[in-house]
């Protein structure tokens, strides 16, 4: 295939054996892990866990990525479309509240085909970096129940420096609007689990409190209460190439987390604030081909 799935639109040749272009992935799915995961937001993880399916490769280039073993170094195992369906069924049989496709952007064509041929009995979660092409999202309409995008940056210079994506702010804003239009306001079941909706994540970065405030301002200014949820994440740990950028080669200060939390409260945003003790490598899954 000649690929233009993501906003890079690099028209890379992706064959069964190898991939070119930004994501470096072949046409067929490459996975690193599939397991029940309890570290998502409470209405997604629930009591039994979210059935996470981690894809290898990524169309972003975040220098601090905690999943860099699979996003940048491409660790993973090729699986067939049939096997991917079996993996989803196995997670459902183990009690997964949902099937959570993690970093699926460059495999949208695979997920679309899977869900057309193999409908799932639980909500489908699209867990992504927010860097999505509108045409690709429109093809997912009616197939995804819960969108879980990042809103990483509102400044193109910061996006270019840390993710090699100067167009990230405008792309992510348009993408999140499309997601919200597709699935509508958040809907919960009788147990408080999310059945439908958008949860917008923002990872607080060292020295980027103003960026976090800008992201929260945009969400508060564009969505009514209850229309979307906002998740302020404070788990940042220097990782990957972060050591090359002195200003982010540290953990968050207590004052940064406190100020961001207070700003979110003052705006009245519905959602979640991650505890500061969520910092550390122990909160990153072991990418050891579990469940494949």
pLDDT single digits (tens) 125-184:
999 999 999 999 999 999 999 999 999 999 999 999 999 999 999 999 999 999 999 999
Task: For residue 102, list its beta bridge partners.
Answer: 54, 127
Confidence label for 285 from pLDDT (cuts 50, 70 and 90): confident
Encode pLDDT of 20-32 as tens digits: 889 999 999 999 9
Both structure tokens of 126: 């699209």
The DSSP secondary-structure symbol of 266 reads H
3-state SS string over 69-104?
A: HHHCCCCCEECCHHHHHHHHHHHHHCCCCCEEEECC
Give the integer Cα–Cα distance in Å for 144 and 113.
Answer: 12
Helix (H, G, I), strand (E, B) or coil at 263: helix
Question: Which percentage of the chain shows pLDDT scores above 70?
Answer: 97
Both structure tokens of 185: 């306001």
Q: How many alpha carbons fall within 13 Å on the CB side of residue 120?
A: 30
What local confidence, expressed as pLDDT, does residue 279 receive? Answer: 55
What local confidence, expressed as pLDDT, does residue 281 receive? Answer: 58
List b or e across 256-283, with b for residues whose CB sees 16 or more CB atoms inside 10 angstroms: bbeebbebbeeeebebbbbebeebeeee
Confidence label for 274 from pLDDT (cuts 50, 70 and 90): confident
Both structure tokens of 4: 């233009």
Residue 280 above 70 pLDDT? no
Q: For the whole model, what pTM was predicted?
A: 0.96
Alpha-carbon separation of residue 267 from 46, 166, 177, 254 (angstroms): 27, 27, 20, 20
Both structure tokens of 192: 């408080």
Encode pLDDT of 4-48 as tens digits: 999 999 999 999 888 888 999 999 999 999 999 999 999 999 999
Q: What one-character-per-residue DSSP string does 108-173 give?
A: HHHHHHHHHHS--SS-EEEEE-S---HHHHHHHTTT-SEEEEB---S-HHHHHHHHS-TTHHHHHH
Residue 246 above 60 pLDDT? yes
Helix (H, G, I), strand (E, B) or coil at 229: strand
């Amino acid at each position: 295939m000649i690929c233009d799935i993501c906003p890079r639109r690099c028209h890379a040749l992706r064959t069964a054996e190898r991939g070119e272009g930004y994501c470096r992935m072949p046409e067929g799915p490459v996975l690193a892990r599939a397991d029940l995961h309890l570290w998502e937001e409470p209405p997604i993880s629930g009591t039994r866990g979210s059935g996470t399916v981690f894809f290898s490769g990524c169309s972003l280039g975040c220098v601090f990525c905690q999943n860099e073993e699979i996003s940048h170094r491409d660790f993973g195992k090729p699986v067939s479309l049939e096997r991917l369906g079996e993996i989803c069924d196995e997670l459902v049989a183990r009690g997964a509240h949902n099937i959570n496709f993690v970093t699926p952007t460059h495999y949208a064509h695979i997920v679309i085909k899977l869900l057309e041929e193999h409908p799932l009995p639980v909500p489908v979660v699209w867990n992504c970096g927010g860097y999505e092409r509108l045409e690709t999202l429109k093809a997912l309409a009616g197939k995804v129940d819960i969108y879980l995008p990042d809103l990483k940056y509102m400044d193109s210079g910061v996006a270019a420096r840390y993710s090699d994506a100067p167009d990230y702010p405008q792309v992510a804003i348009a993408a999140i609007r499309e997601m919200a239009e597709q699935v509508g306001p958040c809907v919960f079941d009788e147990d408080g689990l999310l059945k439908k909706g958008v949860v917008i994540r923002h990872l607080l970065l060292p020295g980027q409190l103003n960026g976090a405030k800008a992201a929260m301002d945009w969400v508060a200014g564009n969505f009514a209460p209850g229309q979307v949820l906002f998740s302020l994440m404070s788990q940042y740990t220097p990782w990957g190439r972060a050591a090359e950028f002195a200003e982010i080669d540290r953990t968050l200060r207590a004052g940064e987390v406190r100020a961001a939390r207070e700003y979110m409260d003052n705006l009245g945003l519905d959602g979640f604030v991650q505890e500061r003790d969520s910092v550390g490598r122990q909160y990153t899954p072991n990418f050891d081909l579990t469940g494949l």
